[in-house]
Amino acid sequence: MLRQAFRRSFSTTTTVRTLSANNTPSLTVPLSYTKYPASQEDHSIHNAPLIVCHGLFGSKQNWRSLGRGMSSRLRRDVYTLDMRNHGESPHAELHTYDAMANDLIAFMEKHKIENPILLGHSMGGKVVMTTALQHPHLVKKLVVVDIAPFSLPLSNDFASYIDAMRTIDQANVKKQSEADQLLQQIEPDMGIRMFLLTNLKRQPDGHYKFRIPYDILGKALGNMGDFTNIASTVSYPGPTQFIAGGKSNYCKPLKQYPDQVKAMFPNYRLDVVEGAGHWVHAENPDVFMKYLIDFVGQKD
């Protein structure tokens, strides 16, 4: 599945009020982010800000170009986040959708962001759906990129990538090309390898190491295919857009089970980018942006 599919910073953990569906205490981490502010002229419109959540093994870095473009073309502030255990955000043993939804709510509270539009890709898509289902009054609109609101098993490729990262770290490589050579042994697709290697960072001693805690993420893989257990009992009534790649496996359940999708997101639409895979926003950013502008609009 993954082979077809892939194509400011804090360091502490803090406790905030309980926001999970089952009202159990939760620790949140302060998320690293980049803000792409609207122009001074556009700020006078007071459009709802847009918050972007990336997918597994991704980071806010992947959304740098689109972040600027969305801010300009949608005429609003755009925040791209590093989810827990990714990018420059803190690491935490618990890596679940409830935990990441709580992080997102805490981020909104800390930065006084009210009624935003939430956009999430893949893992991030399940984070924003979880947030909207648990706290529908806090979300103005929802954009879900190439993931369905169902429990689906992850490909074994994810575990292979975890093993490869561990092997590369143990090899103490001094060049990214050396890491790429090791990664080629399990992944022939250059695009996937380059994506994974965005997590490889040069250390003070000259060696390259992965910045993500792959052991923590490896333990969490069994839960990443799941979806919130409250989905059968609650719904998000706000405007919802699913943008899917026509060649992506994640597009199929959205087409096959529209009634189940509608039960959770009664005000939803599905836009398909034909010819694109899981990384629809990277593979065809022009069509992706066209659909996004049509849904979000340039003035609230």
- Judged by DSSP in three states, 279 sits in coil
Tokens of 153: 């098993």
pLDDT score, position 234? 85
Q: Which residues are catalytic?
A: 122, 215, 278
Task: Write the pLDDT tens digit of every residue in 162-182.
Answer: 999 999 999 999 999 999 999
Query: Cβ neighbours of residue 102 under 8 Å, at least 6 residues apart?
Result: 16, 19, 20, 26, 28
Same domain for 19 and 140: yes
Same domain for 148 and 272: yes
Percent of the chain with pLDDT over 70: 89
Same domain for 58 and 180: no
Q: How far is CA 35 from CA 77, 143, 160, 211, in A?
A: 7, 18, 33, 22
Domain end: 205, 220, 235, which one? 220
Same domain for 122 and 81: yes
For residue 200, which of 243, 171, 236, 242 has the smallest C-alpha distance? 171
Q: What is the CATH number of the domain that holds 261?
A: 3.40.50.1820
Which residue in this structure is represented by tokens 């599919």?
Answer: 5
pLDDT score, position 7? 37
Same domain for 273 and 215: no
Which residues of the chain are modeled with pLDDT < 70?
1-26, 44, 228-232
Same domain for 139 and 28: yes
**Domain extent for 195:** 157-220
Task: Write the pLDDT tens digit of every residue in 72-91.
Answer: 999 999 999 999 999 999 99
What gap in Å lies between CA 173 and CA 167, rounded to an integer? 10
